[in-house]
Structure formats: structure tokens, C-alpha cells
């Protein structure tokens, strides 16, 4: 494996592919590219299947419109939130086979570099006075994780979440493109995505939604909690496979990721991708996801997204 010195397993063949259930440039894309880079070169091809912030890919897997064998599909905490809210139809976590979580990301709030707002508190104070003046780019519609991040912060700032002016996009790549073009004034997105743009000095990240400041490019960015908004938003990233995947093939992939994620080479590549350590596979991951969906369902109910 690239950077790890490990040989390919039988599951890491040239016909393997990682499906990105969004447009290029966002966190889902980052997940598949990290896998492509750290498995043996040339063994994993990427394909893009945007729509419904993961819903199209999910239904394609269940209906077997996507080949089952050696097909991985990227997911995130946002995918689990959509399952909790019923945005994937009558989806259930038991319908697919959860292979591996390869890292975690965190939410963040950003503006353009030339924005007059230097802190999250300044932004939220201005937004409280005139919420209609701020178009907020988010991956997904009302009820998505990007919306829930802002809804939680907004509520603490005295803003009715329903007053927030959301502009929905199919992933973080489009959100930042809209910010650069000045079509929106704020992006509610993910730290890994923001780190790519922060390197170029195009954006100003006002807050990261983590328990403590993050290392790397965003190391000087304060948390929302430091600025008086007690909101954190970790984002698990990983891959699943279709329900028709054989036990043998599933276990091969689980073992492949366990070996991969225990290597120093993978840890370095994950860090370079802006993700943070979180490794889980197989049944342990499935159990974790079941509990995460329960938590997301509770949050969605709190904000009136579901009954």
C-alpha cells in the first residue's frame, strides 16, 4: 500500500471502486481519495453519484444498480443524520454493511477573507439583527448537519433557526465555490474542507466545532465554545458496502482496513487530508452507528425536523 509498504489483498483488485455520493471537492470526495491514495496504487477507482446528499447512492446500492462486489460507498455523520431524519426513505442502518470509519472531521463556520466579521460572536450578533442579510451555504437542505450546526449556534445567539437563510448545495465543494463568488456570505461546513481553502488565504474560519483547537492549518482558530457558544460537531467519515456483499468479501475488506489504519503511512496521509484519528471496523462500527443514529434522531426532534 502506498506509503505503508503493504501488499494488496485479494479485495484490493483493479476492479474495486469507491463511490463518492456527492459532487467533487467535499468531504465525501476526500474520504474516497484518501482510500485511493493509501491502498495499492491503481487498485481503487473513483466514481461520483451525487443526489440527495447521499440518498441516490444509498438507494442505488440497495437496488443493486451499483455492482456489489468490491464497491465501497463513502459516508459521513451527515449520512447518518439523513437516515435518522428519514431522508433516505425508509432506511435502516441494518440495510448495508458498515466496513470502516477511517477518521473524524469537525464542523466549522467560515466567511470570505475580506468579510468585516473577525469572530463568530461578531458574525452572530450581526446575523441576530438582520438574519435575512446573510445567505448561509450548506451541504444539504434544512435539517442537514450543516443547517443543524448553524441552528444550534443561532439559537444560543438568540436567533430563531427558522429565520436562517440557507442556500443548499450538493456538498462542501460547491459551498466554498459560492463563497468565493460572493453568492453567499457564510459557509457552514467541515474543517477538512476549510483547511484546503485556508492554505490559500481565501477564507477566514471563525470557529471550529471541536472540543479543543485543532492541530495543523487551523491551529490558531478558536473553538465555538471558546467564543461562548457551547456547540461541538464531530463528523465520522468512512465507507459501507451493499447488503448482497458476501460474508467472506466483507470480512476481507474489514481486515484490509484494519491493517491499513494501523500503519504509520496511513496516519500520515489521514493527517495530510485534514482528518483526525478515529478508526473502527466491522461489528464495533455497526454498533456505534446504531447509537449515533439514535442521537441524531433526538437532535432532529429537538429542532422540529421529525416528530
Residue after which a domain boundary falls, among 227, 257, 288: 227
Range of the domain at 163: 106-227
Same-domain status, 212 and 271 = no
User: In sequence order, which ranges of the chain are alpha helices (DSSP H)?
Assistant: 27-38, 55-62, 77-85, 120-129, 145-156, 172-180, 191-198, 247-261, 264-272, 282-302
Same-domain status, 261 and 281 = yes
Average pLDDT over residues 238-256: 95
- Pull the grid cell for residue 238: 468512512
Query: Would you state the pLDDT for residue 173?
Result: 84
Same-domain status, 47 and 139 = no
User: Does any domain span residue 169?
Assistant: yes
Same-domain status, 251 and 273 = yes
Share of the chain above pLDDT 90, in %: 73
CA distances from 107 to 11, 14, 205, 206, 208 (A): 33, 34, 11, 11, 6
Q: For 22-78, what is each residue's pLDDT tens digit?
A: 988 888 999 999 999 999 878 899 999 998 878 999 999 999 888 778 999 999 998
Cβ proximity of 3 and 265 under 8 Å = yes
Does the structure show a pLDDT above 70 at 9? no
Query: Would you state the pLDDT for residue 211?
Result: 95
Average pLDDT over residues 181-189: 96
Average pLDDT over residues 219-245: 96
Beta-bridge partner residues of 201: none
Does the structure show a pLDDT above 70 at 2? no
User: Does any domain span residue 53?
Assistant: yes
Cβ proximity of 18 and 72 under 8 Å = yes
Residue after which a domain boundary falls, among 227, 257, 286: 227
Same-domain status, 296 and 248 = yes
User: Does any domain span residue 81?
Assistant: yes
pLDDT grade for 307, boundaries at 50, 70 and 90:
confident
Average pLDDT over residues 261-290: 94
Measure the CA–CA gap between 64 and 226, rounded to whole angstroms: 47
Pairing mode, strands 165-169 and 135-139: parallel
Same-domain status, 182 and 157 = yes
Same-domain status, 65 and 26 = yes
Does the structure show a pLDDT above 60 at 1? no
Query: Would you state the pLDDT for residue 14?
Result: 53
Average pLDDT over residues 177-193: 94
Measure the CA–CA gap between 243 and 97, rounded to whole angstroms: 6
Same-domain status, 95 and 145 = no
Q: In terms of C-beta density within 10 A (0-12 exposed, 13-18 middle, 19 or more buried), how is residue 215 classed?
A: exposed
Measure the CA–CA gap between 218 and 298, rounded to whole angstroms: 30
Domain count, the chain: 2
Residue after which a domain boundary falls, among 208, 227, 246: 227
Same-domain status, 57 and 74 = yes
Query: Would you state the pLDDT for residue 132?
Result: 92
Does the structure show a pLDDT above 70 at 282? yes
Same-domain status, 193 and 86 = no
User: Does any domain span residue 8?
Assistant: no
pLDDT grade for 83, boundaries at 50, 70 and 90:
very high
Query: Long-range pairs for 229-233 at CB < 8 Å and ≥24 separation?
Result: 229/120, 229/121, 229/124, 229/152, 229/153, 229/156, 229/157, 230/156, 231/149, 231/152, 231/153, 231/156, 232/106, 232/107, 233/77, 233/106, 233/107, 233/145, 233/148, 233/149, 233/209
Does the structure show a pLDDT above 90 at 269? yes
Share of the chain above pLDDT 70, in %: 95
User: Does any domain span residue 152?
Assistant: yes
Does the structure show a pLDDT above 90 at 235? yes
**Cβ neighbours, 10 Å, residue 181:** 9
User: Does any domain span residue 61?
Assistant: yes
User: Does any domain span residue 3?
Assistant: no
DSSP labels, 280-300: EEHHHHHHHHHHHHHHHHHHH
Same-domain status, 110 and 30 = no
If one compares 69 and 150, the residue with the highest pLDDT of the two is 150
Give the burial string for 52-81 (b: 16+ CB within 10 Å, else e). Answer: bbbbbbbbbbbeeebeeebbbbbbbbbbbb
User: Does any domain span residue 2?
Assistant: no
Amino acid at each position: 500500500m502506498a506509503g505503508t509498504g503493504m501488499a494488496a489483498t485479494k479485495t484490493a483488485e483493479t476492479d474495486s471502486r469507491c463511490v463518492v455520493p456527492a459532487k467533487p471537492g467535499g468531504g465525501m470526495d476526500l474520504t474516497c481519495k484518501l482510500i485511493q491514495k493509501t491502498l495499492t496504487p491503481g487498485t481503487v477507482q473513483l466514481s461520483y453519484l451525487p443526489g440527495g446528499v447521499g440518498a441516490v447512492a444509498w438507494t442505488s446500492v440497495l437496488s443493486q444498480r451499483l455492482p456489489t462486489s468490491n464497491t465501497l460507498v463513502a459516508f459521513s455523520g451527515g449520512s447518518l443524520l439523513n437516515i435518522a431524519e428519514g431522508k433516505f426513505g425508509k432506511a435502516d442502518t441494518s440495510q448495508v454493511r458498515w466496513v470502516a470509519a477511517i477518521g473524524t472531521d469537525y464542523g466549522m463556520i467560515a466567511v470570505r477573507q475580506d468579510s468585516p466579521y473577525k469572530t463568530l460572536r461578531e458574525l452572530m450578533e450581526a446575523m441576530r439583527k438582520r438574519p435575512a442579510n446573510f445567505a448561509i451555504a450548506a451541504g444539504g437542505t434544512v435539517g442537514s448537519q450543516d443547517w443543524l450546526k448553524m441552528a444550534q449556534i443561532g439559537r444560543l445567539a438568540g436567533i430563531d433557526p427558522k429565520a436562517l437563510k440557507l442556500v443548499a448545495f450538493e456538498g462542501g465543494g460547491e459551498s466554498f465555490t459560492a463563497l468565493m463568488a460572493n453568492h453567499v456570505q457564510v459557509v457552514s461546513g467541515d474543517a477538512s474542507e476549510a483547511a484546503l481553502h485556508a492554505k490559500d488565504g481565501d477564507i477566514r474560519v471563525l470557529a471550529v466545532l471541536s472540543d479543543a483547537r485543532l492541530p495543523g492549518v487551523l491551529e490558531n482558530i478558536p473553538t465555538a465554545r471558546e467564543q461562548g457558544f457551547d456547540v461541538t460537531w464531530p463528523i465520522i467519515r468512512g465507507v459501507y458496502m451493499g447488503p448482497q456483499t458476501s460474508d467472506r468479501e466483507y470480512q476481507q475488506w474489514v481486515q484490509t482496513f484494519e491493517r491499513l489504519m494501523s500503519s504509520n503511512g496511513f496516519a500520515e496521509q489521514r493527517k495530510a487530508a485534514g482528518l483526525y484519528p478515529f478508526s473502527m471496523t466491522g461489528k464495533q462500527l455497526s454498533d456505534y452507528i446504531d447509537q449515533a443514529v439514535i442521537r441524531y434522531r433526538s437532535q432532529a426532534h429537538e429542532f422540529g425536523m421529525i416528530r
